[in-house]
Structure 1
Amino acid sequence: MANKEAKLKQNDNNVIEFIEAVESPRKREDAYRLLDLFTEITGYEAKMWGPSIIGFGSYHYKYASGHEGNAPLTGFSPRKAKISLYLTMPDDEYEKFAADFGKHTRGKACIYVNKLADINVAVLKEMIKVSVIFSKKQNR
């Protein structure tokens, strides 16, 4: 079966324009703080991935099923309901951080927070580092 066109692609959309379009002033402020934080920790320039993900760096993945593509090493999205943090790591690594991270929920591919004031930013910095290292190892 042929690979479907990937929905998540890096594009030339402007990161600042995207953040400026975020309706909630608090969420917009948090997005700028996250932009600075992720840029500082990863050393990568922020790029838009798809219509709403701000990603840093990239890696190529290929699943046993044959599906393959590119994805950001890490990133975030200031969505209407919650802020999505794209932090990929093994469950045991996540568990090391979870208790001290603050108020959040975890989905399959990301961590959701209401606002930065709810979480421990020092723990987030460490999680970003672990996520980038883990994602780089997935590069195939």
Structure 2
Amino acid sequence: MTENKTQATQAEPADYLETIADTARRTDCQALNELMRRATGEPPVMWGSAIVGFGLHRYPLAGGKTGEICAVGFSSRAADIALYGLTGFDEAEPLLETLGKHKRGKGCVYLKRLADVDAGVLEQLVTQAFNSKKV
């Protein structure tokens, strides 16, 4: 069986957040860390070297095997903040329509700045996405 490339690590999420060079981006990611912690009730865990994740999502693979990844999470990328796990459940679309300025990719939501979105809607989206994937 091929092992999942992105796995939970023992690295400290706070250390990763401190490495974000842009002050505004670092502040946004620290606030997002607190928002996701509050919305999920879970502590942050590093997945790989650059994803701060919350909770655990198991998903089916071929041959009856399962994979694991964080239920929801985020990462500071070169152009945007990538949010993971916030799409693909019934209540996502209405919330995404009222979220504010964002882009979507395959399974991801991308933000330039946290101030571009409604924090209350984002927290509701995180909570519902997390609850839809509880193990």
Identity of aligned residues (%): 33
Report the equivalent of 2:60: 62
Unpaired runs of 5+ residues, structure 2, are none
Do structure 1's residue 40 and structure 2's residue 38 form an aligned pair?
yes
Report the Cα distance in structure 1 between the residues aligned to 2:76 and 2:18, rounded to whole angstroms: 11
Q: Residues 32-74 of structure 1, C-alpha deviation per residue, up to 9 Å, x if partnerless?
A: 1011111111110100001110001112221345452111111
Report the Cα distance in structure 1 between the residues aligned to 2:88 and 2:4, rounded to whole angstroms: 24
Which of 105, 108, 112 is matched with 1:107 structurally? 105
Q: Which amino acid aligns with 2:100?
A: G
Offset of residue 90 of structure 1: 3.0
Q: Which amino acid aligns with 1:63?
A: L
SS at match of 2:67: strand
Question: Is the CA contact (8 Å cut-off) linking 1:53 and 1:77 kept in structure 2?
Answer: yes
Do structure 1's residue 124 and structure 2's residue 115 form an aligned pair?
no
Question: Is the CA contact (8 Å cut-off) linking 2:87 and 2:107 kept in structure 1?
Answer: no
Report the equivalent of 1:28: 26
Which of 95, 98, 108 is matched with 2:96 structurally? 98
Offset of residue 76 of structure 1: 0.7
RMSD: 1.6
Report the Cα distance in structure 2 between the residues aligned to 1:111 and 1:79, rounded to whole angstroms: 12
Change (3 A) 1:56 1:91: closer
Q: Provide TM-score, normalisation by structure 1.
A: 0.88
Report the Cα distance in structure 2 between the residues aligned to 1:70 and 1:92, rounded to whole angstroms: 21
- Paired residues, what number? 135
Unpaired runs of 5+ residues, structure 1, are none
